[in-house]
Amino acid sequence: MTLLLVGSLGTSSAMWDPLRALLGDLSLLALDHRGHGGLASAAPPGPYSLADLGGDVLASLDARGLERVNYCGLSLGGMVGMWLAVHHPERIGRLVLCNTSAHLNPEAYAARAREVRAAGTVALVADGVLARWLTPLYTRGHPAVVAGLRAQLVETAPEGYAGCCEAIAGMDLRPELGRIAAPTLCVAGREDPATPPELLRLIADAVPDGRLEVLSPAAHLSPVEQAPAVAALILDHLRSDP
């Protein structure tokens, strides 16, 4: 079964590159959110919702003839994955949720959307976002990786970024977590200031077949900073998948 990879707000599918070579012979498909991955032309006016972003995923799967996939989502990608597992459970086999949450501060994300839309650039928030993505130790030791991630962030279409911020602002999946039937692995970074482990614990405890693994050192992009450990957890989680 194909493993679908869907990334965070402000990253492209290239974010998954450190993980790809570690996932053996798995069939992989990575998708970008609307307005991400340099796809400025694919950024319709916002606000967006998780239903919009989930609909984009379903349309991409339908176009490829994929009726059912395993799903790994990071941050916003994890939120979309939870929405799909609740509303379209027949499309999701096993679920991996990295550094995500079922609910975040709506005022903060609505304000960020206004800021980026008014400025017409994501570069305005880049420094603050990057500081949450990786631990300082990793950042100092991997300047090329940091530069690549920054490029993904600033190349995101402002309307795509703002619209996705509004999808996060309008999200509250907490009442629906108990409806997720997919076996679910939650992966947290101990040093993640954006979605700390307690937010992943809430998900793992609410999903009937959920478990939590906490990695350290790791901030918000644990599949980048701890790629071998995340790959091993994913492979173990998928091992019993038919």
Q: Give CA–CA dist 161/142, Å, rounded.
A: 25
Predicted confidence pLDDT, tens digits, the chain (242 residues): 999 999 999 999 999 999 988 997 899 999 999 999 976 557 899 899 999 999 999 999 999 999 999 999 999 999 999 999 999 999 999 999 999 999 999 999 999 999 999 999 999 999 999 999 999 999 999 999 999 999 999 999 999 999 999 999 999 999 999 999 999 999 999 999 999 999 999 999 999 999 999 999 999 999 999 999 999 999 999 986 55
The 3-state secondary structure of 96-138, one letter per residue: EEECCCCCCCHHHHHHHHHHHHHHCCCHHHHHHHHHHHCCHHH
Contact 170, 216 (CB under 8 A): no
pLDDT of residue 40: 56
What pTM did the predictor assign?
0.95
> Total domain count for the chain?
1
Residues spanned by the domain of 186: 3-238
User: Tokens standing for 89?
Assistant: 């459970």
pLDDT of residue 21: 85
CATH of the domain at 233: 3.40.50.1820
Based on DSSP, count helices (H) and strands (E) in the chain, helices before strands.
Answer: 11, 6
Contact 180, 83 (CB under 8 A): no
Radius of gyration of the chain (CA): 16
pLDDT of residue 25: 85
Length of the chain equals 242
Contact 2, 28 (CB under 8 A): yes
Q: Give CA–CA dist 145/147, Å, rounded.
A: 5
